[in-house]
């Protein structure tokens, strides 16, 4: 299903065939930064598994520019306990060639729309600090700061804080419908 298109941009559901492109985008975040707390980049097979696992219940979208995957955004369960099932945790990763041009906002807006359509009530995003680009994107999309985990992750010889933000996707309801 195509979410959004322009002459050069297409935002669509990811499939397992997108695993190699998503893994390639994610790899430098794992190896060269503390943006991700993973230490070993996932293989194409692992990335395909991740795409498959969340696509049916939450969402995994890719943004294509000129036919090439330029970024991806996905949502997964916020936490394992059943009472959290209306909440979701979101992530977004863009190729370095496509940052700062509005692609992230377009991709994230499509992801949030999909989550609303599926009945989720709250989106949570976490980001390693400092990360001004991610902080700015989340604030622009209506995510509000709710806390900071201090010195929670150790990577590349340093301790890092993680900011926690959240955004309501729908009004609270006494008896919400099950997410679909």
Q: What's the pLDDT at 128?
A: 97
Q: What is the DSSP string of 141-166?
A: TT-EEEEEEEEEEEETTEEEEEEEEE
Say yes or no to pLDDT of 125 above 80.
yes
Say yes or no to pLDDT of 110 above 90.
yes
Say yes or no to pLDDT of 12 above 70.
yes
Structure tokens given for 72 = 């991806």
What is the average pLDDT across 141-164?
Answer: 97
Structure tokens given for 128 = 């390693």
- Taking residue 34's Cβ as centre, other Cβ atoms within 10 Å add up to 20
2 — pLDDT class (breaks 50, 70, 90): very low
Q: What's the pLDDT at 172?
A: 77
6 — pLDDT class (breaks 50, 70, 90): low
Are β-strands 2-5 and 9-13 bridged in parallel, bridged antiparallel, or unpaired? antiparallel
**What is d(CA 163, CA 126) in angstroms, rounded to the nearest whole number?**
5
Name the architecture of domain 2-168: 3-Layer(aba) Sandwich (3.40)
In a 3-state reduction of DSSP, which class is residue 167? strand
Q: Where are the beta strands (DSSP E) in the chain?
A: 2-5, 9-13, 59-65, 68-77, 87-94, 122-129, 144-155, 158-168
Say yes or no to pLDDT of 7 above 70.
no
């Amino acid at each position: 299903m195509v979410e959004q298109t322009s002459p050069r941009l297409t935002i669509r559901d990811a499939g397992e065939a997108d695993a190699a492109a998503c893994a390639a985008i994610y790899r430098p975040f794992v190896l060269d930064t503390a943006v991700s707390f993973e230490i070993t980049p996932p293989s194409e097979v692992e990335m395909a598994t991740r795409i498959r696992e969340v696509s049916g219940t939450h969402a995994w979208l890719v943004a294509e520019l000129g036919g090439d995957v330029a970024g991806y955004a996905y949502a997964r369960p916020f936490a394992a306990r059943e009472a959290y099932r209306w909440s979701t945790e979101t992530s977004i990763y863009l190729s370095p060639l496509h940052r700062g041009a509005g692609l992230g906002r377009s991709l994230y807006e499509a992801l949030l729309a999909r989550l609303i359509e599926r009945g989720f009530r709250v989106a949570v995003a976490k980001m390693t600090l400092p990360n001004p680009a991610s902080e700015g994107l989340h604030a622009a999309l209506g995510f509000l700061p709710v806390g900071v985990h201090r010195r929670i992750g150790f990577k590349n010889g340093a301790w890092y804080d993680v900011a926690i933000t959240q955004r309501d996707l729908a009004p609270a309801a006494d008896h919400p419908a099950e997410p679909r």
